[in-house]
């Protein structure tokens, strides 16, 4: 249960992947780790992957907190959300609503294969940088 932050150096793509039971605390901790990584290494196209999430217990307050914070990535950087579960998709849409025009659009897909297709790559070769 937690998150991992990985990087594919060949394709220059980052990935924040959550797994197990996702709580507001874990959600925000993963995003804080991503913010620190981007501040240190610079922005790259990024995938946020919810595929391995078994329970989504992120409350509206945590979604609002993140939606109202400054974006982690600059506007021109591509960001893809992988959401195979309908309940999580509903929360992603709620996040987009809370964000209003403060954030650039997200590309929401159902699978990692779809995310790779969107980025124009065949597959990711992630090396884990942070585990939380």
- Boundaries of domain holding 43: 2-131
d(CA 102, CA 21): 28
Band of residue 96 on the pLDDT scale cut at 50, 70, 90: confident
The predicted-structure confidence for 11-67, as pLDDT tens digits, reads as follows 999 999 999 999 999 999 999 999 999 999 999 999 999 999 999 999 998 888 888
Q: Determine the average pLDDT of the residues in 66-76.
A: 89
- The number of domains in the chain is 1
CATH, residue 18: 3.30.750.24
Per DSSP (E only), the strands in the chain are 2-8, 13-23, 46-57, 79-82, 107-109, 127-131
pTM above 0.85, yes or no: yes
Of 40, 42, 51, 41, nearest to 16 by C-alpha is 51
Of the pLDDT bands very low, low, confident and very high (cuts 50, 70, 90), residue 99 is: confident
């Amino acid at each position: 249960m937690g998150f991992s932050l990985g990087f594919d150096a060949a394709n220059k793509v980052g990935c924040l992947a959550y797994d197990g039971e996702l709580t507001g605390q874990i959600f925000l901790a993963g995003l804080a780790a991503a913010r620190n990584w981007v501040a240190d290494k610079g922005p790259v196209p990024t995938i946020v992957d919810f595929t391995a999430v078994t329970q989504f217990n992120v409350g509206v307050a945590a979604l609002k907190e993140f939606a109202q914070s400054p974006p982690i990535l600059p506007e021109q950087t591509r960001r893809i959300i992988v959401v195979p579960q309908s309940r999580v998709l509903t929360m992603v849409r709620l996040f987009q609503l809370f964000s209003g025009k403060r954030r650039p659009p997200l590309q929401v897909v159902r699978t990692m294969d779809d995310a790779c297709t969107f980025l124009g790559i065949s597959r990711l070769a992630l090396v884990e940088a942070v585990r939380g």
